[in-house]
Structure 1
Amino acid sequence: MYLGPNLGLTIIRTRHSIRQYKDEPIEEKIIQNALDCARLAPTARNEQPWLFGVVRDKETLAKIAGLADHGKFIAGAQVCFAVFGKRDAKYYLEDCSAATTQLILGLWAYGIGSCWVAGEKKDYAEDVRALLGVPEEYTLVSLLPAGYPKELTLAEKKDLDDLVFRERYSGN
């Protein structure tokens, strides 16, 4: 069923990183729907090498925030999603990045803000994996703290004309 471009484009165009959240719980139905968006992400060879963690416990959120070098705000989130990929899957990073993006957009469709916190190649990735009891066959790709935004501001983005070339790059 095609709903037209307006809803989808509005969600994509207005999404931005949110690091401060209201103290307002998120309904389980919203979390389930956003996770469903993530699991439907495109994946190489339909491998689906991901595992999604959902953390709501404030003590665990604080521990994750203490581990993540640029994620101290995780402690103030209502929920933090942890996206893991199977280490032996050839395209786990690409696949789990696509799933993270769809999770972000699925949340934003409900007005739930989030901010992608890196996991891949970070020193704390193994500590987060161990904290959450995830098997060693998985590696942390991303953390996604989320909640209703305390305030809304739009970040400046580059003009499309500054980012696109057609057919062959000629420099500017």
Structure 2
Amino acid sequence: MHIGPNLGLTIIRTRHSIRSYKEDPIDEKIVRNALDCAHLAPSARNEQPWLFGVVTKKETLSQIAALADHGRFISGAPICFAVFGKRDAKYYLEDCSAATTQLILGLWAYGVGSCWVAGEKKEYADAVRTLLGVPEDYTLVSLVPAGYPKEVTLAAKKDLDDIVFSEKYSGA
């Protein structure tokens, strides 16, 4: 299947973090398609050590927001995805990070904004896992609150020439 370079690049280039959402619910088809994108992410040894949670109940969203030190805005999202990795999988962090990225891009392809909220190494990771009833052999890698953006603002990015080197880094 070939979607053409313009559509794929446009989705990637225009994606940015959204922290303020309209109350409109996200259609189940969009949710399923975004999750399908996530589960098709590259995985070391094709281990696929992930588990994806989908939270839409306002009470649970508020509880997650209260736990996440930089995710208070989660309570205002119509949906939040929780990406967990199997602790004993050697590359769970890399695999679940790839899956999180593909989830975010899958949502943005439908105009659904999101923001990656860290889970790995956060003090609240175990509390979120417990809240959602996820077995102890999984650990929280990321939270992805999502919704249709109330507003869109673009953050400045570094110039490509300032962060790319060829063959061997020579310093600045």
TM-score by length of 2: 0.99
Amino acid at match of 1:101: T
| Residue 7 of structure 1: aligned partner | 7
The superposition leaves residues 74-127 of structure 1 with CA deviations (integer Å, 9 ceiling, x where unpaired) of 000010000000000000000000000000000000000000000000000000
Q: Structure 2, unaligned stretches of length 5 or more?
A: none
Q: 4+ residue stretches of structure 1 with deviation over 6 A?
A: none
SS at structure 1 position matched to 2:133: coil
1:146 aligns with 2:146: yes
| Residue 21 of structure 1: aligned partner | 21
Measure how far apart 1:4 and its partner are.
Answer: 1.5
| Residue 55 of structure 2: aligned partner | 55
User: 1:99-138 alignment to 2 at 5 Å?
Assistant: 99-138=99-138
Aligned mates of 2:140, 2:171 — CA distance in 1: 37
Aligned mates of 2:150, 2:8 — CA distance in 1: 23
1:96 aligns with 2:81: no
SS at structure 2 position matched to 1:85: strand
SS at structure 1 position matched to 2:62: helix
SS at structure 2 position matched to 1:146: strand
Measure how far apart 1:22 and its partner are.
Answer: 0.3
Measure how far apart 1:170 and its partner are.
Answer: 0.8
Identity across matched positions, percent: 81
| Equivalent pairs, count | 172
Aligned mates of 1:167, 1:135 — CA distance in 2: 45
Aligned mates of 1:79, 1:2 — CA distance in 2: 30
